[in-house]
Chains A and B, each alone.
Chain A
Amino acid sequence: MPELITSFWQTYNTLFYTVFVHGMLALSIYITLSCGQLSLGNAAFMGIGAYTAALLTMKAGAPFGISLIAGGFLPAVVALIIGIPTLRLSGVYLAMATLGFGEVVRVVILNMEITGGSLGLNGVPLKTELWHLILVMGILIYFFIKLRNSRFGRILEAINEDEVAASVMGIRATYYKVWAFAIGAFIAGVAGGLNAHFTFFISPREYGFEPAVDILTFAVLGGTRTLWGPLAGSTILTILPELFRFLGPYRLALNGIILVLVVLYLPNGIVNRDTFTNLKRFFKKEENA
Chain B
Amino acid sequence: MLKGEHITKDFGGLRVLGDVSFEVKEGLIFGLIGPNGAGKTTVFNIISGLLKPTSGRVTFDGRDITNRPPYEITGYGISRTFQNIRVFREMTLLENVLVGMHRLFSYSAFSMFFDLPKKRSEEKDLREKAFEILSIVRLTEKADLKAESLSYGEQRKLELARALATEPKLLLIDEPAAGMNPAETEELMEEIVHINGKGYTICLIEHDMKVVMGICSHIAVLNFGELIAEGSPDDIKANPEVIEAYLGKEELSA
Contact = CB atoms under 8 A, between A and B. Distances in A.
Given A166-B99, A168-B48, A169-B166, A154 B91 contact: yes
A167 interface: yes
Nearest to A149: B123
Given A155-B99, A158-B99, A168 B50 contact: yes
A245 interface: no
A146 B112 contact: yes
Contacts of B69: 167, 172
B152 to A, nearest CB: 17
Nearest to B165: A169
B90 to A, nearest CB: 6
Contact of A171 (B71, B73, B80, B86): B71
Contact of A146 (B70, B80, B98, B113): B113
Given A161-B90, A164-B50, A165-B88, A171 B99 contact: yes
Interface in B96-117: 98-100, 102-103, 105, 107, 109, 112-113, 115
A261 interface: no
Contact of B100 (A143, A146, A150, A169): A169
Contact of B91 (A158, A164, A167): A158
B102 A169 contact: yes
B119 A169 contact: no
B79 A143 contact: no
Given A147-B112, A165-B86, A170 B50 contact: no
Given A146-B115, A154-B99, A170 B86 contact: no
B201 interface: no
A204 B246 CA distance: 68
B162 interface: yes
A273 B89 CA distance: 14
B223 interface: no
Given A158-B91, A164-B50, A150 B86 contact: no
Nearest to A170: B74
B107 A151 contact: yes
Contact of A161 (B74, B91, B102): B91
A168 B95 contact: no
Interface in B213-242: none
A59 to B, nearest CB: 33
Interface of A: 142-143, 146-147, 149-152, 154-155, 157-158, 161-162, 164-173, 273
11 contacts: A155-B102, A158-B99, A164-B70, A165-B82, A165-B87, A165-B88, A166-B99, A167-B49, A167-B69, A168-B71, A169-B162
Given A167-B49, A168-B80, A169-B99, 8 more contacts: A146-B115, A149-B123, A150-B112, A157-B90, A164-B70, A168-B71, A169-B165, A171-B102
Interface of B: 48-50, 69-71, 73-75, 79-80, 82, 86-91, 95, 98-100, 102-103, 105, 107, 109, 112-113, 115, 119, 123, 162, 165-166
